[in-house]
Amino acid sequence: MTEALVFEYPRLAGRTDVAATCSPAAPYLVGLNHRSAPVDVRERLSVSEARLADVTERLMRLGAVEGACVLSTCNRVEVLVSSTSEDVVDRVVDWLAHHGATTREALQPHLYIRRGSEAVTHLFRVASGLDSMLIGEPQIAGQVKKAFAGGALDPTLHQLFEQTMHVAKRVRSQTGIGEHAVSVPYAAVELAKKIFGELHGVRVLLLGAGEMGELTAEHFAKQNVDQIFVANKTYERAVELARRFGGSAVQFSAFEEQLAECDIVIASTSAPHHVIESAQVQRALEARRQRGLFLVDLSVPRNIDPAIARIDGAYLYDIDDLQQVAETNRERRRCEAARAEEIVANEVRAFHVRAESEDAVPTIVELRARVDEIRSAELEKCLRKLGPIPVEQRQAIECFASQLTNKILHQPIVELKKSAPLRGAIRRIFGLRP
């Protein structure tokens, strides 16, 4: 478990009897996401980070809830609870409808419900980025971690949390699911890196402040570029956007002066014609002493003359080029996702093997105590009949009795760890508490 996170289980305080843990809670998940519900429905149910504690407390008061947490992002809202009763699902659905100020009938078509193993599999896939709108989304693992950190975790959810984070880390480190640009803006960054290597120290000119151009500039800004210049027909908008990136605004009519100063040019204007011509780029490259110039044309109709691609030192990509790169990378991620799915499937099986083994502990403890009780009673009878004997002989008899019971119990205990039905049978045969 991460050192920064400390979890307590107040609901288990004072429960020292073994029977209290004989019916382990199972995980149940009720939620909706970008595939099952439109944004207006997701908005209704969303939970801000500031409200997580209050919402979790409300869930814990539903009854039959041993532990609870809520994962709320722009693409999904999911409630995960642990309970010994499947009736908890109906209570959570009713609670979600009330929380979203809607009816159960209106909400039900958008919901999915995962029980037990299905809930474990779903959570592993979500944290690994396999269920995201964008396969391999890196932020989701951190969001899942925050959801658990803000929840009320009983032993079942605590164990599930640790395993979920382990699976997400393994998928990220052993597959390439998070590699390769799969969006047009980031594809531009990836191509620029192939030309310039590290982008630290390069200068960027954003020509026009369209949504796609702005997003592309944002991606470049995250690469610690040296400077971002913004030129726009409306100068006030250029000033506003430049301030956001810590850059400088320039008059649109004077942007050619920046061509020689900048290494990367992003064109995203609404002009129905070429804004950058071959002659302008030729002059810029001469002034740059043939240092490369990377140009990204995100406009339709195109803002940059396609003939520029034939100029030595000019690297021009339009939106179709970038989409092709992004689609190629999406296919790569899909291949990596298949490998990630195998990891998830194996981890789900391993999780249930461990859970089954741990679920058997109370029965094993009681069985051993019951057999030890019988052994002690019968041993005492035997020793009384023998009368006074040397200490060495008494110890040998006690050792024999102990080894005999251990040998007899060995195989039943092995089988108890594998089979829940057998646990019930053993409890009945030996008269253990149900």
Identify whether residues 169 and 264 lie together within a single domain: no
**R_g of the chain computed on alpha carbons:** 32
pLDDT, mean of residues 309-324 = 90
Mean pLDDT of the chain: 84
Q: From CA 315, how far away is CA 251, in angstroms rounded?
A: 25
Choice among 134-143, 166-175, 282-291 with the minimum mean pLDDT: 134-143
Task: Specify if 55 maps to a domain.
Answer: yes
Task: Specify if 339 maps to a domain.
Answer: no
Identify whether residues 225 and 149 lie together within a single domain: no
Identify whether residues 17 and 144 lie together within a single domain: yes
Q: Which residues contact 388 (CB under 8 A, 6 or more apart)?
A: none
- Please indicate whether residue 399 or residue 426 has the higher confidence score (pLDDT): 399
Choice among 97-111, 175-189, 280-294, 371-385 with the minimum mean pLDDT: 175-189
In this prediction, residue 95 carries a pLDDT of 96
Provide the residue range defining the domain that includes 304: 184-320
Identify whether residues 78 and 200 lie together within a single domain: no
Closest Cα partner for 177 from 369, 10, 389, 342? 342
Pull the structure tokens for residue 160.
Answer: 């599930």
Task: Specify if 125 maps to a domain.
Answer: yes
In this prediction, residue 393 carries a pLDDT of 85
The reply to whether 399 belongs to the active site is no
Instruction: Give every strand in the sheet of 76-83, ordered side by side.
Output: 67-72, 76-83, 26-33, 112-115
Identify whether residues 114 and 127 lie together within a single domain: yes
**How many alpha carbons lie under 13 Å from residue 105 in its C-beta half-sphere?**
0
Please tell me which residue in 74, 335, 382, 399 is annotated as part of the active site: 74
Identify whether residues 87 and 168 lie together within a single domain: yes
Q: Which residues contact 131 (CB under 8 A, 6 or more apart)?
A: 33, 122, 125
pLDDT, mean of residues 29-36 = 93
Q: What CATH number should be reported for the domain holding residue 54?
A: 3.30.460.30
Q: In the listed set 320, 344, 371, which residue is the last one of a domain according to the structure?
A: 320
In this prediction, residue 420 carries a pLDDT of 64
Task: Specify if 230 maps to a domain.
Answer: yes
Identify whether residues 104 and 128 lie together within a single domain: yes
pLDDT, mean of residues 256-260 = 90
Q: In the listed set 265, 295, 320, which residue is the last one of a domain according to the structure?
A: 320
H or E element, residue 293: strand 293-297
Choice among 36-45, 133-142, 276-285 with the minimum mean pLDDT: 133-142
Task: Specify if 380 maps to a domain.
Answer: yes
Q: What is the pLDDT of residues 328-368, one digit of tens each?
A: 777 877 888 888 889 999 988 888 777 666 666 677 777 78
Task: Specify if 200 maps to a domain.
Answer: yes
The structure's pTM equals 0.59
Pull the structure tokens for residue 191.
Answer: 């191509």
pLDDT, mean of residues 130-143 = 81
Identify whether residues 80 and 155 lie together within a single domain: yes
Number of independent structural domains in the chain: 3
Q: What is the pLDDT of residues 44-87, one digit of tens each?
A: 999 988 899 999 999 999 999 999 999 998 889 999 999 999 99
Q: In the listed set 179, 205, 235, which residue is the last one of a domain according to the structure?
A: 179
Pull the structure tokens for residue 28.
Answer: 């149940």
Q: What CATH number should be reported for the domain holding residue 217?
A: 3.40.50.720
Identify whether residues 151 and 208 lie together within a single domain: no
Task: Specify if 56 maps to a domain.
Answer: yes
Using an 8 Å Cβ cutoff, are 313 and 291 in contact?
A: yes
Rounded alpha-carbon distances, angstroms, from residue 390 to 377, 385, 396, 404: 20, 14, 10, 21
Identify whether residues 308 and 384 lie together within a single domain: no
pLDDT interval class at 177 (50, 70, 90): confident
Identify whether residues 204 and 119 lie together within a single domain: no
Task: Specify if 219 maps to a domain.
Answer: yes
Identify whether residues 32 and 167 lie together within a single domain: yes
Q: From CA 218, how far away is CA 178, in angstroms rounded?
A: 19
